[in-house]
Amino acid sequence: MLPIPPSADETPVGKQVCSFVSSYFSFKQNIMCPFKGGNSKLRPAMMLAGTSFEHIKALIDRGIRSDYSFPKGQAYLMNTSDKARNSRATSFTQAAEELGELFPLQILAADYISERKDVLFYFTGLKKVPMLETLYFLPGALADHLTSAGGMLTDSPQMSSLRWLEAGATASYGTVVEPCSFSQKFPSPIVTMFQYALGASALEAYWKSVAWPGQGLFIGEPLAKPFAPHIEEVSPKQFMLKFFSPRTGHLRIERSFSAAGPFSPFMQQKTISRGENQFHFKFNEKTDGYLNIQWH
């Protein structure tokens, strides 16, 4: 990986690879329709990548298993000995301070982990990450390594991002041309985990975590959503709302007999805690009309 140049102008991808590239307007934003929500007219995409049909089907199956599962896994943030590829480590302390109550989070001064059975997030910076075959990635796990050519899936001189998916991760990311050590060209661990905690899909969480994605490739099962809100009928007319929240706040449920409203309070406002929340309520779909559920 080449060193960061002292200065560079914003240029289109391909003219000066070791420079700034166009920023993505949805970085860290809770925008639901990015194609309509800004000037970039981008439709975020993620490649269902694999070396065989069986690998890709297994990837999709992992994504489906992850939906609404609220996994109890660990986040591993690796402060490696590879200084050129360790630029994201400066944000790890902030990630621990802001997200440590949401996810069990370990900042490790090591190049890799092994023999772990609880991997939900794994962010590191190396040319090649060893011992992946000894790990168990929970369905929905996100993992990547900051290096120059991880996005060259089949002909990379470094470790391909495919190795993460083959090891059991559900999504990953890598650049396809020399990015230099700009951390903005790689997923921000704190943003990725925060967006996932909001209920975003793997595609949404990863895309919103890369400020300058123009030289990268997102791979995995795009619709995996382990922390997405979920309502289920646990018994006749008895419902449970389950969701994950990275912040404390309040839940408001309103009712209307018309889908167009107006809505009025259906139950007393509830307090939301950080992490997993469950609320039970009675509702007769035939007589009680429509519900508007919001939390903030």
Which pLDDT tens digit goes with each residue over 138-187? 999 999 999 999 999 999 999 999 999 999 999 999 999 999 878 899 99
CB atoms within 10 A of CB 3: 9
Q: What integer pLDDT is reported at residue 13 of this predicted model?
A: 38
Banded pLDDT at 296 (limits 50, 70, 90) = confident
Residue 188 pLDDT greater than 60, yes or no: yes
Residue type, 34: P
254 in Cβ contact with 265 (< 8 Å):
yes
Q: CA-CA distance, 74 to 141, in Å (whole number)?
A: 10
Which of 122, 144, 131, 132 shows the shortest CA–CA distance to 74?
A: 122
Which of 246, 200, 227 shows the shortest CA–CA distance to 44?
A: 200
Q: What's the pTM?
A: 0.88
138 in Cβ contact with 119 (< 8 Å):
yes
Which of 251, 208, 224, 185 shows the shortest CA–CA distance to 18?
A: 185
Which pLDDT tens digit goes with each residue over 197-231? 999 999 999 999 999 998 999 999 999 999 999 99
Residue 10 pLDDT greater than 60, yes or no: no
Least-confidence region, from 20-34, 104-118, 143-157: 20-34
Q: CA-CA distance, 7 to 18, in Å (whole number)?
A: 10
Q: CA-CA distance, 283 to 176, in Å (whole number)?
A: 51
